[in-house]
Structure formats: C-alpha cells, structure tokens
Amino acid sequence: MSEDVLLQEARRWVRDARRIAVLTGAGMSAESGVPTFRDAQTGLWAKFDPQQLATEDAFRANPKMVWDWYAFRRDMIAKVEPNNGHRALAAFAQRHPHRMTLITQNVDGLHQRAGSDGVLALHGNISEDKWLDVPKGCCNTETAMPGSPPRCERCGNMLRPAVVWFGEALPMQALIAAETAAQECDLMLVVGTSGVVYPAAGLARTAAGRVVIINPEPTELDDAADAVLRGKAAQLLPLLLED
C-alpha cells in the first residue's frame, strides 16, 4: 500500500475515532531542535554519562553539579519552539474537546507551550521543581534560598528538577490515566518514539483500537501497528489531523 493511501486510510480512522490516545517521544522534540538525552552532552558536559547524572544518588552526592547540568539543559530547551506537529495536536484537541488524550515521554514542555491542556507527562517536566525530601511545613518554593540548588531557608531541604530519574517510578496518577486511555481508545498515534523505553512503550501494545506509528525510522513497535507512516511529525500530523 502506498504512503498516500496509508495516510488517507489513517485520516479516515481519525475521523471515525471517538477516543484517540497519542504517545509522543524524543523524536518529536528533536524536530524542534531539542537534543536527545545523550546528544545534549556537549561542551563542558561531554565527558559525563547522563545516566550517571540523572539519579537521586548523584544529586545527593553532588547537588551543585547535577543542578547545573539541568540548568544547562533548561537553557537549551528555552531556545526552541514547538513545531507544527505539537501545534496540530493542540489545535485538534481544541476543536474536538474530550476526544484526545495526549501522553508524552518528553520533559521539555513543548506540548504545553503549543497549547495542549491535560498532558500526561510520564517523565515529568524539566521546567518545574519539587522538593528532594518530603516537604515540611517550612518548605515553601517561593521563599527558598537561591543557590545551586535552592534550599529551604529553615530545614535545608533542596529543590530538584521535577523529572523522573533513573531508578524512580513514573508518577502513578499519570501512568494510570495513560493506561486507561490506551485501553479505551479507538485509535492510538505513536509519534517519534523508538519504542524501547518501558512502561511507556507498552501502551501501544495494550491499545484497544488501531495503532498508527509516525516515525521516519523503524521502531520496536512497528509490529504492533495497523499502519506505519514514515515521515516527520511536523509534516504528517497536520495532514493527519486536519478536518
């Protein structure tokens, strides 16, 4: 079946679906210029293994170094903009309230900046902070002492990026909502993910409806797809989701 015919078939599935789940991964952000997790290791940080930095143990051992690394990544992300794929998803959801659930493995917040509400960010959001230890009554982010990282002025509790580190569980509420969306959808779009990171990748294999993969390269989830569209999200999503 030709790419054009596949696209038209997928468009029909979108029109007919009452509930659509969308799972996005690093490839979608890469189209906006966000480096992938490992590609972000440049300049001063090139000698560090990101898997050794993105852990609670690393933060406790050297909080300044890990905080500064995330500050470096935040600066990179702040310089990029949502692409046409992000915008197409947001526009579709606004035109069709309650039909789409957007699930992302990305921490860059580009979906939110494009106008998507209710995004299920399975790996957190790099632009937000949370307390490292269970916050006490004195822990107030607005009065935290500036520093690398900021700390509670009374108890010394440190703020950390609100992302999921290696060895941590995904946020339970978001994961349950994502699993429910997959199990109840008529159609799942899997966009820009290699399909190797679980449990997020497993959502495509539990989808109740049809699965459409959108990716320029082969993925580990292609065998679970009813259609595979080879191409970039910024090009294909506006075509797929136009009314």
> What is the spatial distance between Cα 235 and Cα 237, in angstroms, rounded to a whole number?
6
Q: Which helix (H) or strand (E) element contains residue 100?
A: strand 100-104
123 is catalytic: yes
> What is the spatial distance between Cα 70 and Cα 53, in angstroms, rounded to a whole number?
9
Instruction: Please tell me what DSSP assigns to residue 127.
Output: E
Taking the CB of residue 121, how many other CB atoms lie within 10 A of it?
25
Q: Tell me which of 86, 96, 111, 123 is the catalytic residue.
A: 123
Contact 181, 204 (CB under 8 A): no
* Residue among 181, 209, 79, 168 at smallest CA distance from 160: 168
> What is the spatial distance between Cα 139 and Cα 117, in angstroms, rounded to a whole number?
28
Contact 235, 82 (CB under 8 A): no
Residue type, position 111, single letter = H
Read off the tokens for 204. 């495509």
* Residue among 34, 70, 39, 75 at smallest CA distance from 54: 70
Residues paired with residue 101 on neighbouring β-strands, in sequence order:
21
* Residue among 182, 237, 180 at smallest CA distance from 23: 182
Active site residues: 123
